[in-house]
């Protein structure tokens, strides 16, 4: 197999909030279909790195390349459009829309992309089923458990078959059994669709689902397996 280029490549990232440097020369490369775990102490810059990679936060300096696109110089409108079509997101507390049912939550990214309701909900139900959460399709986020909510959130992140999924402590609010279940389903779904995953976690058991671990310390990245 010839190795393809990275799907995402960030170099020389700097980001400062007031007097606090959140990122100081951080970088990260992700291959297509690769699951990378980003670890490190609280406040070390993991979420900031994730947000820069996903084009949510613009770094003060440095480059984030997604295929032929340079995210750091793209207009906000183009970056949001790209995020919607090519990226998926899972956060620590799901961030589902409380007024919508779980099915409507999962269908939402497809509806925003212009798909008609029926087609969007059919595909959303397939994804809820894959994440073993079809039984909560008619419930609202306030009526389901944390583990169910995270499985719905993973379904919503993957329903558009994104090239890259960003997950910030996706199991941080779950007990270890539910955490492992969510990770098992997330990693399998990502492998099935060949999505790359950038996964922020404190938990070594969660990181064990990754292909590679990167450590962030004081805003700097270090690849555990490779050269420093
Ligand atoms: N929006 C913001 N405004 C001001 N300071 C921020 C902001 N976001 C992050 N910071 C600061 O930047 C540094 C890195 O924060 P970041 O959220 O990236 O850390 P983290 O590694 O994700 O931590 P945790 O594990 O606690 O989530 C911290 O010192 C934090 O206080
Ligand atoms: Mg964080």
The pTM score is 0.93
The atom number, within ligand 1, closest to the CA of 49 reads 18
Question: Tell me, what's the pLDDT at 225?
Answer: 58
Structure tokens at 145: 């458990």
Q: Which residue has the higher pLDDT, 107 or 19?
A: 107
- Average pLDDT of the chain, as a whole number: 93
Question: Tell me, what's the pLDDT at 3?
Answer: 58
- Ligand 1 pocket, mutate which of 13, 20, 54 (most atoms under 8 A from CB): 20
Q: Answer yes or no: is pLDDT of 131 > 90.
A: yes
How many other β-carbons are positioned within 10 Å of the β-carbon of residue 185?
19
- For 66-114, the pLDDT digits (tens) are 999 999 999 999 999 999 999 999 988 878 999 999 999 999 999 999 9
**220 near 187, Cβ under 8 Å?**
no
189-193 contacts: CB < 8 A, separation 24 or more? 189/130, 189/131, 189/154, 189/158, 190/33, 190/35, 190/158, 190/165, 191/33, 193/158, 193/161
**199 near 190, Cβ under 8 Å?**
no
Q: Which domains does the chain have, with CATH numbers?
A: 8-223 (3.40.50.300)
Give the residue from 91, 90, 73 showing the smallest Cα distance to 82.
73
How many other β-carbons are positioned within 10 Å of the β-carbon of residue 79?
20
Ligand 1 binding pocket includes 46 (Cβ within 6 Å): yes
Mean pLDDT across 200-227: 88
């Amino acid at each position: 197999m010839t190795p393809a280029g990275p799907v995402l490549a960030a170099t020389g990232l700097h980001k400062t909030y007031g007097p606090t440097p959140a990122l100081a020369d951080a970088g990260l490369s992700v291959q297509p279909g690769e699951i990378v775990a980003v670890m490190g102490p609280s406040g070390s810059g993991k979420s900031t790195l994730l947000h820069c990679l996903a084009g949510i936060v613009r770094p003060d300096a440095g480059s984030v390349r997604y295929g032929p696109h340079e995210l750091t110089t793209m207009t906000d409108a183009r970056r949001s459009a790209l995020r919607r079509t090519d990226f998926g997101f899972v956060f620590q507390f799901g961030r589902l829309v409380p007024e919508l049912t779980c099915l409507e939550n999962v269908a939402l990214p497809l509806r925003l992309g212009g798909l008609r309701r029926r087609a969007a909900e059919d595909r959303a139900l397939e994804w809820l089923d894959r994440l073993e959460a079809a039984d909560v399709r008619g419930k609202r986020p306030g009526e389901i458990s944390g583990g169910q909510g995270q499985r719905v959130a993973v379904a919503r992140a993957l329903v558009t078959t994104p090239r890259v999924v960003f997950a910030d402590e996706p199991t941080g609010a779950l007990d270890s059994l539910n955490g492992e279940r969510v990770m098992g389903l997330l990693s399998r779904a990502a492998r099935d669709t060949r999505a790359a995953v950038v996964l922020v976690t404190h938990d070594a058991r969660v990181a064990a689902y990754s292909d590679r671990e990167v450590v962030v310390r004081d805003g700097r990245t270090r690849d555990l397996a490779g050269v420093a």
